[in-house]
Amino acid sequence: MKYACCKSTAGGATGVVVCTKCKQNFHSACLYPTDKEQGTLRGSQGGSRPLPSDKENVNLRRGGSCSNSPPHLSLIEDSTDTSMSMESVKGFIVSAIASEIAVMRSELCRVISESIARELKPIRDEIASIRESMNFINNQQEAMEKRVNNLEKDIKSFGSVKADIGAIKETIASNETGNERREQWARRSNVEIFGVPERKGENLMKVLKEIADYAQFPLDPSKDVDFVTRVAPKSSGGSKTKPIVVRFLARWKKDEFLATVKKLRLKSNDIKISGDSFIYFNDHLTSANKALLQRVKTICKEKSFKYVWVKNCAIKVRRSDTSPVINVSYESDLNKIK
């Protein structure tokens, strides 16, 4: 049997005291030493008891070795005043530990929450920025989709507008062609004379008669001529001599006159006008046909065409004496000159 008062295991039933609180065994000799060995020890009732004679087996402290100081009897006889039972100590310790663990858990949760919040703040900010950017992109995309839809509608409408424009262009081109033909037709009886020097107070009808007489062409101005006048060329720049336009009353008379005078190498002094400039005769072409004639002459020179002339207000070209005659009436006819 083990004892809480000393190391000795000896003892009988009459020499053992069991604590009602801690349930441990004590020697009665350890608890009540004799006055002979240790003097008198006062108990809880104020009396004295003798100390045991074998003091080497006496442990005056619980679980300790031999000592000369007796234990205080109140520790065993009245534990509520000086000590706590093991169950109370265990309960107190468990409660303290549980309370400390709860405090530590709360503090740990707080620290973890703050740490997580601190670490997640940049991520939240980044997510907020991304969300804002996505909202902006979505708004832009919606606006772009609206614009695309509007453009698609406009394109569909443009298709009909384009067709209308094409029709209008064709109509304008047709009208221009018709106007050009009518204007040229109105000039079919006209002859344009270039190179006659201008004089103050000149008589153009007399100049025309001098040309006809020099060419030995029968001409009665009072019967054959409608009018004769000078016109300002559109591209003269104001320095070139104005050409003379003669309108014949009969087209056949105009054709005969033009065919006759074109054979001449006439100069101004041949018709009693000072100077030696050459005088040229041609059909009275419209401005568009004059520009077309200049382009034809340039291309024919590049392509080595031998002949370029105008007959009955129509432009004609010929590569050589044996080549076929090519009529040029429109811009598209320039492709014929190869």
Residue 210: in which H helix or E strand, if any? Answer: helix 204-215
pTM of model > 0.75: no
CATH number of 286-338: 3.30.920
pLDDT digits (tens, 9 = 90+) for 68-113: 444 444 344 444 444 446 777 778 888 888 888 999 999 999 899 8
Extents of the domains making up the chain: 16-82, 84-186, 189-284, 286-338
**Could you give the C-alpha distances from 5 to 25, 64, 88, 245, in angstroms and in order?**
8, 7, 22, 159
Q: pLDDT-based confidence at 192, cuts 50/70/90?
A: very high
Cβ-based neighbour number of residue 72 at 10 Å = 15
CATH number of 189-284: 3.30.70.1820
Q: pLDDT-based confidence at 66, cuts 50/70/90?
A: very low
Q: List 192's β-bridge partners, or say none.
A: 245, 282
Q: Would you report the helix, strand and coil content of the chain in percent, each value rounded to 5?
A: 50, 15, 35
Residue 37 has pLDDT above 50, yes or no: no
